[in-house]
Amino acid sequence: MTNGIIRQNFVIPADDFTAAGEASSSVKKMLIQLGVDPQKVKKTAISMYEAEINAVIHANGGIASVEIDRNKIFIRIEDHGPGIPDVELAMKEGYTTAPDAIREMGFGAGMGLPNMKRYADLLEIKTEVGKGTTVEITVYLS
Amino acid sequence: MKVSEFAEKLNLEILTEGNGSSKDIKGMYICDLLSWAMSHAQKGDAWVTVHTHVNIIAVAVMADISCIVIPEGIEVEEATLKKAAQEGIAVLGTKKTAYEIACEAGKLL
Ligand SMILES: Nc1ncnc2c1ncn2[C@@H]1O[C@H](COP(=O)(O)OP(=O)(O)OP(=O)(O)O)[C@@H](O)[C@H]1O
Ligand SMILES: [Mg+2]
């Protein structure tokens, strides 16, 4: 890879389950094309998908921005949804507020945030009730 | 084992078009919680799930799953099959239960 930085933004549409995952899929393809190690591609893809789908399900969509340089992949998923009142609680495996209709689709295991924690090298969550949530995922390349 | 060979040996119907059936199956994973499946399935696993909505394709792509097997004769949405073909993920259908599929797969994989 060159020294340059690749930057790309994606809109995550609200309540559109057919489009949910488009941003993460595009990023995954991009990383494969760049020749990034498959392990790191998978780590990035899973954590980004979890953040993307959370924005769709819990927060009326948002914006994803991706920055790739030779040292790391940095992903920010920003939404203007309800925010998370208790992040520590939300991070617990099995904790979910997903409604029944969403759970019937197989979401709402309460595993999304724990998966991000597991697969990202660095995970930062900034959230404010009534304002929104920003999730930042870093995966190191070197 | 290639998806196409696996489908033939287990008598599963390949519901998708495209190049998905040339992928290699390494193992099998059964779970209907999407976040759970995505994080615990191994690369190359065939994934058995009762869900048929379009998001299962994204999950399969993120987790490097080789193909999706839908048990018990459950019908799969057209939109899902279209997306699957686009992403190169084969979707296989069968009347068998997840247990029956796993027993037969266990002898082959
Ligand atoms: N972007 C967000 N905005 C508002 N609330 C959120 C957001 N992300 C997560 N949450 C809250 O945190 C909880 C736990 O999130 P997590 O992703 O771990 O599980 P889930 O989305 O409920 O289920 P799963 O991810 O397993 O399908 C959610 O149920 C929701 O209450
Ligand atoms: Mg989630």
Q: In this structure, are residues A44 and A107 in contact, taking their beta carbons and an 8 Å threshold?
A: no
Residue A62 CA, closest ligand 1 atom number:
1
Q: Do A109 and B59 touch (CB under 8 A)?
A: no
pLDDT, residue B97, reads 98
**Residue A1 pLDDT greater than 70, yes or no:** no
Share of residues in chain B with pLDDT > 90 (%)? 98
Q: In this structure, are residues B94 and B27 in contact, taking their beta carbons and an 8 Å threshold?
A: no
Contacts of B59 in chain A (CB under 8 A): 21, 49
- Residue A114: partners with Cβ closer than 8 Å, 6 or more residues away: A91, A92, A93
Q: Which CATH number among 3.40.1390.20, 3.40.50.2020, 3.10.105.10, 3.40.640.10 corresponds to the domain B3-108? A: 3.40.1390.20
What integer is the mean pLDDT of B90-95?
A: 98
**Residue A142 pLDDT greater than 90, yes or no:** no
- Strand B13-14 and strand B90-93: pairing? antiparallel
pLDDT tens, B35-50? 999 999 999 999 999 9
- The model's pTM is 0.96
Q: Where are the domains of chain A?
A: 14-140
**3-class DSSP state for residue B11?**
coil
* Order of strands, sheet of B13-14, starting from the edge strand that comes earlier in the sequence: B13-14, B90-93, B67-70, B45-48, B27-30
Confidence of residue B95 (pLDDT cuts 50, 70, 90): very high
- Residue A123: partners with Cβ closer than 8 Å, 6 or more residues away: A47, A116, A117, A135, A136, A137, A138
**Nearest-neighbour CA in chain B from A8: distance (Å):** 19
**Residue A125 pLDDT greater than 80, yes or no:** yes
Which tokens is B94 given? 């069968």
Average pLDDT, chain B: 97
Which residue, chain included where needed, has tokens 């948002």?
A62
**Residue A15 pLDDT greater than 90, yes or no:** no
| d(C-alpha B37, C-alpha B30), whole Å | 8
DSSP state of A15: T
CATH class for the domain made up of A14-140: alpha beta
For A34-67, where are the alpha helices, taking DSSP H only? Answer: 38-59
What integer is the mean pLDDT of B15-23?
A: 94
Residue B34 CA, closest ligand 1 atom number:
27
What integer is the mean pLDDT of B75-95?
A: 97
pLDDT tens, A80-89? 999 999 999 9
Q: Rg of chain A over CA atoms, in angstroms?
A: 15
Q: Where are the domains of chain B?
A: 3-108
What integer is the mean pLDDT of A54-83?
A: 97
Mutate to test the interface with A, among B24, B62, B64 (most CBs of A within 10 A): B62
pLDDT tens, A31-50? 999 999 999 999 999 999 99
Which residue, chain included where needed, has tokens 């019937």?
A104
Residue A113 CA, closest ligand 1 atom number:
18
ipTM: 0.94
Q: Angle, nearest 10°, between helix axes B98-108 and B3-10?
A: 120
Average pLDDT, chain A: 96
| d(C-alpha A23, C-alpha A27), whole Å | 6
What integer is the mean pLDDT of A54-59?
A: 96
Measured in degrees and rounded to the nearest 5, phi and psi for residue B66 equal -80, -40
Confidence of residue A17 (pLDDT cuts 50, 70, 90): confident
Exposure letters B38-55 (e unless 16+ CB within 10 A, then b)? bbebeebbbbbbebbbbb
Of B38, B56, B79, the CB nearest to A115: B38
Confidence of residue A7 (pLDDT cuts 50, 70, 90): very high
Ligand 1: residue of A54, A111, A124 to mutate (most ligand atoms within 8 A of CB) is: A54
Tell me, using a 6 A CB cutoff, whether residue A52 lines ligand 1.
Answer: no
Q: Which of A52, A2, A54, A57 is nearest to A23 (CA)?
A: A52
CA of A98 to the centre of ligand 1 (A): 7
Q: Do B43 and A50 touch (CB under 8 A)?
A: no
**Residue A3 pLDDT greater than 70, yes or no:** no
Q: Do B33 and A106 touch (CB under 8 A)?
A: yes
